Amino acid sequence: MVSVIGVGTWQFGGEWGQQFSQDEVDAILDKAKELGINLLDTAECYGDHLSESFIGSYLSRRNRDEWVVATKFGHHFHERFTRTDHWAAEDVVKQLDASLKALQTDYIDLYQFHSGPDAAFDNDELWTALDKQIQAGKVRHLGTSIGSNENLHQTEASTRVNSSAIQVVYNRLDRAPENQIFPSCVQQDLGVLARVPLASGYLSGKYKPGAVFDETDIRHRHNRESTLKKLQEVENIRHNEVPAGMDMAKWALAWCLKHPAVTTVIPGCKNPAQVEANASAAELISDNHPQAWKD
């Protein structure tokens, strides 16, 4: 059972224009806990197991069992914005052990194939090795974080490979999963983690068309023209769809959760105030707030 709002922790790896301290991570996670959030999404390559290490230190001083920890496999981190792919079964098992060590835990709740190619996914040896990790108690559930949000091949194979959740890019600016991915998830009864639910922060409403990012921020590497178009679209959405006075990040997360296929959203958070704003999106999906939607 996961909270409808989780915390995405790519940010803790240092690729979003900010290096984190353990105290800052502790404050974010304590705020999440206080607000009823129990789901953390991390990965092997958010820094070299760095995001996992921050979480691991935190969990070692709190109650591990109160959290659902999702991490991923398939890459080695080298330096900021540089990783290489490593999908061989034996390498993945080594990555799993490194993740367990960094997370200071003896089990991972959800272990996800991290946006790899179909050729890597279609390797039965990999899934057999992962099944053995479940038998050994190191992994509770397998998941697939699809790279393209139209990857029906990997989505449809979920049940066959014993992967019980799909992580997919889904937000008000990118609705592609509604066409084929979500129907397949519903048909197979898969959990769905909507990632990048704020469109990398563009849907927070705080950036205007023409916004420029520091080169230590991943958004510096986004295509400028496409960012401009997204930010112009955000202006339209704010004008036409978001009720006056409503925090747009809150609205954007609730918008994702309105889709019945979506189990949870995992916005990346950089401070406790963002966690608080994001958690408040849950209020809008209760029956008491029909006025949140203009459509």
Q: Which of 72, 20, 2, 4 is nearest to 269 (CA)?
A: 20
Name the residue type at position 32: A
Cβ neighbour number for residue 238 with a 10 Å cutoff: 16
Pick the binder of ligand NAP from 110, 269, 279, 282 (CB under 6 A).
269
Minimum Å distance from CB 275 to ligand NAP? 8
Query: Interface residues for ligand NAP in 187-206 (CB under 6 A)?
Result: 195-201, 204, 206
Instruction: Look at the block and give the residue holding tokens 């105030």.
Output: 273
Minimum Å distance from CB 199 to ligand NAP? 5
Going by C-beta distance under 8 Å and a sequence separation of 6 or more, which residues neighbour residue 192?
Answer: 165, 166, 167, 168, 170, 182, 185, 261, 262, 263, 264
By rule CB under 6 A, what count of residues binds ligand NAP? 29
User: How far apart (Å, rounded) are the C-alpha atoms in residues 29 and 282?
Assistant: 18
166 binds ligand NAP (CB under 6 A): no
Minimum Å distance from CB 10 to ligand NAP? 4
13 binds ligand NAP (CB under 6 A): no
User: Of 95 and 115, which has the nearer Cβ to ligand NAP?
Assistant: 115
172 binds ligand NAP (CB under 6 A): no
Query: Interface residues for ligand NAP in 73-112 (CB under 6 A)?
Result: none
138 binds ligand NAP (CB under 6 A): no
Instruction: Answer positive or negative: Cα dihedral of 228, 179, 282, 295.
Output: positive
Minimum Å distance from CB 135 to ligand NAP? 25
Burial 81-115 (b: 16+ CB within 10 A, else e): eebeebbeeebbbebbebbbebbbbebbbbbbbbb
41 binds ligand NAP (CB under 6 A): yes
Cβ neighbour number for residue 12 with a 10 Å cutoff: 30
Backbone phi and psi for residue 227, each to the nearest 5 degrees, phi listed first:
-65, -40
Minimum Å distance from CB 244 to ligand NAP? 18
231 binds ligand NAP (CB under 6 A): no
Binding region for ligand NAP (CB under 6 A): 8-11, 16, 41, 72, 114-115, 145, 167, 195-201, 204, 206, 249, 266-270, 274, 277-278
